[in-house]
Chain A
């Protein structure tokens, strides 16, 4: 099913979605666009390249409270957080970010322990994927082509959107998307010319080139393992690294977290908060020993986790090439260049 709406009327679509549940969409903030829970439909703004922070926080918030308790009181008095399970609409997600959810599912919704919070939010959500604007230049940091993702890839979305001049075309990809699309009264039916435009756009998306290098995940995993001990290499590529947490926080696929107990005046909250392997205290052990005291060790860990260990354990690279880590890095560390350089080490 293909529907359409004029982009200037996007707030009407936003209002209708808000009647049906929680709308999470890009809004313009001082430092760039970000996904936010919408309370004012006028704030939805599709005039962005990609958001500063990844949309992972829609399913995996930076801080998630699990339980509130009183110190010294019995467990039965503790109050676990009840999830708000209204349907959610995650609107305007770029194809590379849509792909990231599938990789995150491995950790939170498939292998080993199922995370009820992630799963509940994921099941409640309908994803509106949104193709990159092919008329604009590609950002030099992006490399999602390398990971087999294209600028107008509908895969993984429930509904996929492309921009046609001043209109937005919306196509249902899954039955869930189809049902929702049929129920949205502000949308108009698309013409056969629109159908054609949409199909062409998807095809043209493959021509929209980001940085690309041939990667075979097996080859890359093996190569990185072989350069693991090459301290000179890692010291060199991490010379500039400040060891801050930006790259991991903006990454759609970084999922490390810390469980924190914060108590004050006998009242406590246990929560899950994002953590970063780039922080010195990430691996600090209770004994005082820290196996990763050096910046190069931490950067190496981040890269090998994504491009080696993750492949060995789950068969896929834990990176979608969205380019956020490179774009936001205060010293321009570029994971793509590091992988390229590693492949050239003899």
Chain B
């Protein structure tokens, strides 16, 4: 199993080194929260900040979400787990950040937990990978030989439903939405400014937490993330009313993978599938 303490120590040492040498101006990682099971996303900017850093099984946050907050050109070091590294790659593909401005601190990790439920989330709400895809250095030992469930395994029940049942399912689930927009705010790929739902001319949906506005918001967001979602599960964990948003994202990701033979955020050489055109692209959607 993952030695969290060792990773934390390495994270602190590297942060200190990177800040001292001036290689980066900020290190995006994890810091202490109000108690041990509640760590927080953290930005270390000075040596004094290092002592507040932490890494444990509740550090689920995808720090890639914070990259776009810094002006282009800022030298940033970022701690990434497997899915988070895919988000960084996706952001590089989409030209939101440049590879040369990043120092990527990879964290291979197994056994991350949802702080609300305590359950292990490795493949249920995340992409099921243990090792970061892209990194400049690793803060722990790569996980080899561990059985990793398919990230799409949780879809089996969902896929058994027919069209009508799925519509009913989402109507019921999205009816719970209180429109706090935590899902889009926690999402590393939701960086539109302004988000369509905040526009008033035209106003795409009403503000009230009910259908059809809820549907409009979520279905649009789901589709904006087609071929881009890297399955970190942050949207679902951020949701205060536990809407299983990951089901839709995983389903779309699976279909994209089948149709275009490409997974989001796996290589900085790739182009997002819905931006790229290839002659051999699937025509399945036209059938």
A: residues with CB less than 8 A from B are 29-31, 52-53, 62-63, 140-141, 239-240, 242-246, 249-250, 258, 260, 262, 271, 273, 275-276, 279-281, 295, 326, 328, 330-334, 336-337
Assign chain B's interface to a size class: 35 or more
Say yes or no: is B281 at the interface (Cβ < 8 Å to chain A).
Answer: no
Whether a CB of chain A sits under 8 angstroms from the CB of B186 is yes
Q: A63-B208, A140-B34, A271-B208 are contacts. A332–B182 as well, Cβ < 8 Å?
A: no
In contact, A332 and B240 (Cβ under 8 angstroms): no
Check A240 against B241 for contact (C-beta < 8 Å): no
- Given A249-B178, A330-B237, A330-B238: A140 touches B40 (CB 8 Å cut-off): no
CB atoms of A260 and B241 under 8 A apart: no
**Between-chain CB contacts (< 8 Å), 14 pairs:** A29-B176, A31-B242, A62-B178, A62-B209, A63-B207, A239-B66, A240-B41, A242-B65, A243-B185, A245-B179, A260-B207, A279-B198, A280-B194, A330-B237
Q: A30-B242, A333-B40 are in contact. Are A262 and B206 (CB under 8 A)?
A: yes
- Residue among B180, B185, B209, B237 making CB contact with A63, cutoff 8 Å: B209
Q: How far is the CA of A52 from the CA of B69 in the complex (A)?
A: 30
**A52 to chain B: which residues have CB within 8 Å?**
240-241
For B40, the chain A residues whose CB sits under 8 A away are 239-240, 331-333
Nearest-neighbour CB distance to chain B for A341, whole angstroms, equals: 11
Instruction: Say whether B238 contacts A63, CB under 8 Å.
Output: no
* Chain B residues with CB under 8 A of A31: 176, 240-242
Kindly state whether residue B262 has any CB partner on chain A within 8 Å.
no
In whole Å, how far is B223's beta carbon from the nearest beta carbon of chain A? 21
Tell me the complex Cα distance, A273–B207, Å: 7
Quote the shortest CB–CB distance from B100 to chain A (angstroms): 24
> Is B208 in contact with A62, judged by CB distance below 8 angstroms?
yes
Q: How far is the CB of A127 from chain B (nearest CB, A)?
A: 24
Q: B99 contacts the other chain (Cβ, under 8 Å)?
A: no
Known: A31-B240, A242-B182, A249-B178. A140 touches B43 (CB 8 A): no
Dominant secondary structure of chain A at its interface with chain B: loop
Contact A141–B242 (Cβ < 8 Å):
no
CB of A244 within 8 A of CB of B206, answer no
Instruction: Choose one: A63, A271, A281; the contact of B198 (CB below 8 Å).
Output: A281
Q: How far is the CA of A336 from the CA of B31 in the complex (A)?
A: 17
CA distance A243 to B234 in the complex (A): 15
CB of B119, distance to nearest CB on chain A (Å) = 14
Contacting residue for B34 out of A245, A260, A273, A326, CB 8 A = A326
Bound-complex Cα distance A334 to B42 (A)? 14
A30 CA to B193 CA, complexed, in Å? 33
Whether the pair A332, B186 counts as a contact (CB closer than 8 A) is no
State A332–B208 Cα separation when bound (angstroms).
26
- B182 near A246: Cβ-Cβ < 8 Å: yes
- B227 CB–A CB distance under 8 Å: no
B61 within 8 A of A: yes
B43:A239 contact, CB within 8 angstroms: yes
- CB contact under 8 A between A250 and B42, given known A280-B194, A332-B33: no
Give every chain A residue within 8 A of B41 (Cβ-Cβ). 239-240, 331
Of residues 1 to 60 in B, which have CB atoms within 8 Å of A's CB atoms?
A: 31, 33-35, 38-43
Contact B240 A280 (CB under 8 A): no
Q: Which residues of A contact B209 (CB under 8 A)?
A: 62-63
A residues in contact with B211, CB < 8 Å: none
Q: Are A141 and B185 in contact (CB-based, < 8 A)? A: no
Q: Are B43 and A246 in contact (CB under 8 A)?
A: no
Report how far A99 CA is from B230 CA in the complex, Å.
44
**Known A-B contacts A250-B240, A273-B207; A244 and B180 likewise in contact (beta carbons under 8 Å):** yes
Q: Top 7 A-B pairs ranked by shortest CB distance? A: A330-B238, A244-B182, A242-B185, A31-B242, A63-B208, A245-B180, A240-B41
Given contacts A244-B180, A273-B207, A331-B40, 5 further A-B contacts (CB under 8 A): A52-B241, A62-B178, A140-B38, A242-B186, A331-B41
Q: Pick the contact of A140 from B35, B182, B194, B200 — CB < 8 Å?
A: B35
Alpha-carbon distance between A337 and B35 when the two chains are bound, in angstroms: 11
B181 at the interface (CB under 8 A from A): yes
Query: Which residues of B from 161 to 192 have beta carbons under 8 Å from A?
Result: 176, 178-182, 185-186
Nearest neighbor of A271 in chain B, beta-carbon distance: B208
From B61, B208, B237, residue with most partner A Cβ within 10 Å: B208
Cα A31 to Cα B243 in complex, Å, equals: 9
> Which of chain A's residues has its CB closest to B26's CB?
A239
What B residues does A243 contact at CB under 8 A? Answer: 185
